[in-house]
Amino acid sequence: MTAATDATAPALVEGRGPLSRTVVDALRGGRSPAGATAAVLKADPWGEDLQLALYLLYELHYRGFAGVDEALEWCPDLLRLRRSLEDRFGHALAAETAGSPGTVAEAFGPLLVEPVDLGDSLSHYLETEGELWQLREYAALRSLYHLKEADPHAWVIPRLRGRAKAAMVAIEYDEFGAGHAERIHARLFADLMDDLGLDTAYGSYLDRAPAPLLATVNLMSLLGLHRSLRGALVGHFACVEVTSSPGSRRLAKAMHRCGAGPAAEHFYAEHVEADAVHEQVVRREVIGGLLSDEPDLEPDIAFGCAATLLLEDRLAAHIRHAWSSGRSALRTPLGPSRAGRGRRPPDTHGHGRGERW
């Protein structure tokens, strides 16, 4: 057994149902996951159990887990179980996005114009009414994505060529700090978390993360790990870049209004300008180049966009419902920040709204 030696590898969490418990037992060196695939067909594709099981298996391709054998990344039994989980998740995505636009123009056109009415926008709510405890929750939720920001998208690079590859590499170069470790976007987000008094360790909020959040991260891993889904990954990446700048502008203002700290404000301010540029490059060069090389991938690109919006809307609905009910959007609430800021007043009731824009 070769346990993970990466000092930043997160601790393995407990399961939330039979599937995720089976995965945890297998990773700890216990019983084989063989036979667990039969239970996948009965599992809720959006539920805590399936989404955590899938997340744990995907994480083997990132930093793994402390004390877990690194060779399990390519364990045949775990890969078979992962494929069954992916099929269940993928079929649910396909069913929920049926009838969505099938062309790039139809999929992305509405995203290029900011709505006049921002009443359903979560970032608008945070900008105008949100409190520091809600910004802390939002950051803790998003940390599972932002602390690995750009990593899943990098898997598509060897699957592209020409214009698409050159443009993708250029954008990723910016995401990874343009040669400066302190400017890597994942590092900038860790600095944001530090300003908010949150734990900056990679994966530290996995056990608190609900299924709607896990699904957004699992989508990136699903699309990134399969060459056959390269078009959908480009669609996902483009959707993130196209919708990022306006929301980041509002979140930067929210951080400033709530006194979150300079690093917290800087992370989103950085994305306002960077993603505005990236949006142009990804649409014209990455998508344009890919379609020039492989025009048959256009429906896949549109699907990637639709699936991204679907899962972001599901997450927004979860946050909206939790905050409007006066409770945490996390599985267990955060404690007070290390700096003593961001404590939630016991009688505070948020009014979360939609995610995009």
Confidence of residue 357 (pLDDT cuts 50, 70, 90): very low
Beta bridge partners, 57, equal none
* Residue 254 in tokens: 């929210």
Amino acid identity of 44? D
Q: What is the pLDDT of residues 302-339, one digit of tens each?
A: 999 999 999 999 998 899 899 999 999 999 999 877 65
Q: What is the pLDDT of residues 210-256, one digit of tens each?
A: 999 999 999 999 999 999 999 999 999 999 999 888 889 999 999 99
- Judged by average pLDDT, the poorest of 29-38, 54-63, 183-192, 296-305 is 29-38
**pLDDT at residue 209 in the model:** 98
**pLDDT at residue 291 in the model:** 98
Beta bridge partners, 4, equal 66
Q: What is the mean pLDDT of residues 190-209?
A: 97
**pLDDT at residue 340 in the model:** 46
Is it the case that residue 67 has pLDDT exceeding 70?
A: yes
**pLDDT at residue 119 in the model:** 60
CB-CB contact of 104 with 302 (8 Å): yes
42: Cα separation from own chain's centroid: 25
Q: What is the mean pLDDT of residues 51-73?
A: 97
Those residues whose C-beta lies under 8 Å from the C-beta of residue 35, and which sit 6 or more positions away, are none
Q: Alpha-carbon distance 120 to 316, whole Å?
A: 9
Confidence of residue 347 (pLDDT cuts 50, 70, 90): very low
CA proximity to 72, closest of 51, 156, 82, 87:
82
Q: Which of the residue ranges 28-32, 41-45, 278-282 has the most confident prediction, judged by mean pLDDT?
A: 41-45
Confidence of residue 109 (pLDDT cuts 50, 70, 90): very high
**pLDDT at residue 273 in the model:** 75
- Judged by average pLDDT, the poorest of 78-92, 99-113, 325-339, 343-357 is 343-357
**pLDDT at residue 212 in the model:** 98
Q: What is the mean pLDDT of residues 10-19?
A: 96
Confidence of residue 2 (pLDDT cuts 50, 70, 90): low
DSSP 239-283: HHHHHHHHHHHHHHHHHHHTT--HHHHHHHHHHHHHHHHHHHHII
Express as a percent the part of the chain with pLDDT over 90.
77
Q: Alpha-carbon distance 232 to 221, whole Å?
A: 12
Express as a percent the part of the chain with pLDDT over 70.
90
- Judged by average pLDDT, the poorest of 71-85, 118-132, 257-271 is 118-132
161-180 exposure pattern, b = at least 16 Cβ within 10 A, e = fewer: eebbbebbebbbebbbbeee
Question: What are the CB-based long-range contacts (under 8 Å, 24+) for 325-330?
Answer: 325/349, 326/350, 328/137, 329/137, 329/138, 329/141, 329/210, 330/137, 330/140, 330/141, 330/205, 330/208, 330/209, 330/210
Q: Alpha-carbon distance 260 to 35, whole Å?
A: 49
Residue ranges of domains in the chain, CATH in brackets: 18-96 (no CATH), 104-324 (1.20.910.10)
Q: What is the mean pLDDT of residues 155-160?
A: 97
CA proximity to 220, closest of 162, 270, 150, 169:
150
**pLDDT at residue 245 in the model:** 85
Is it the case that residue 349 has pLDDT exceeding 80?
A: no
Confidence of residue 4 (pLDDT cuts 50, 70, 90): low
Which has the higher per-residue pLDDT, 286 or 271?
286
How many other C-beta atoms lie within 10 A of the C-beta of residue 7? 7
**pLDDT at residue 270 in the model:** 87
Give the CA distances from residue 314 to residues 289, 304, 319, 320, 321, in Å, rounded to whole numbers and listed in that order.
31, 15, 9, 10, 11
Mean per-residue pLDDT of the chain: 90
